Amino acid sequence: MTDETEKQTAEKVRKPRGPKPGAGVSGGAQPGAGRPPFVPTAEQRALVRELSGLGIPQTQIKLLVRPGGIALETLLEHFREDLDIGKAEANTKMARSLFSKGMKGDVASMIWWTKTQMRWSETQKLEVTGANGGPMQTVDLSKVSTEALLELSKAIADAAPEDHDRAPRLN
């Protein structure tokens, strides 16, 4: 390379990058470009609160906030408190109504309350016995070979009536 060529190459390498003087900024976010930020209205907040209280899923609420809907992330970012309060207000109204019915003697409400709020439950006792009420007969198969178990399974399946509800045959 000649001294002149080396000098030109060195100048190119040292030139700062960036916009040319007088040129606009290129790349990246541009001032005023894109969609304006979402700002919820009082009507939208009331709607979200009501729908949340009615038990409508958030994936459906986001479609009803405005024409064309909003992203789920936008719903959660801007309406988190409205979603929570709507659900809490509805639960409170329902609890008041249920409690009032129970206090007036509505048996179904009283039973539901005792089961869910007082942790009461109905229990059933199931006893399993062997023949004629005797003890269950058990067989220890832990020492039986796999081959013998497969033969036993086949024999039981062959002896059983054709029943689609029975366990599948082991092969």
Token pair for residue 136?
Answer: 């269950």
Q: How big is the CA angle at 35 (ends 32 and 38), to the nearest 5 degrees?
A: 115
Is the Cβ–Cβ distance between 110 and 75 less than 8 Å?
Answer: no
Closest CA to 48 of 28, 69, 29: 69
pLDDT for the residue numbered 109: 95
- Say what the pLDDT of residue 160 is: 77
Q: Report the predicted TM-score, pTM, of the whole model to 2 decimal places.
A: 0.52
pLDDT 10s digits, 96-128: 999 999 999 999 999 999 999 998 988 888 888
Question: Has residue 92 got a pLDDT over 70?
Answer: yes
| Average confidence (pLDDT) over 11-15 | 57
Contact between 65 and 83 (Cβ < 8 Å): no
Q: What is the pLDDT of residue 65?
A: 97
pLDDT, position 111: 93
Binned at pLDDT 50, 70 and 90, residue 14 comes out as low
Q: Is the pLDDT of residue 13 over 70?
A: no
Question: How many Cβ atoms sit within 10 Å of the Cβ of residue 48?
Answer: 26
The pLDDT of residue 61 is: 98
Q: What is the pLDDT of residues 17-69, one digit of tens each?
A: 555 555 555 667 788 788 889 999 999 999 999 999 999 999 999 999 999 99
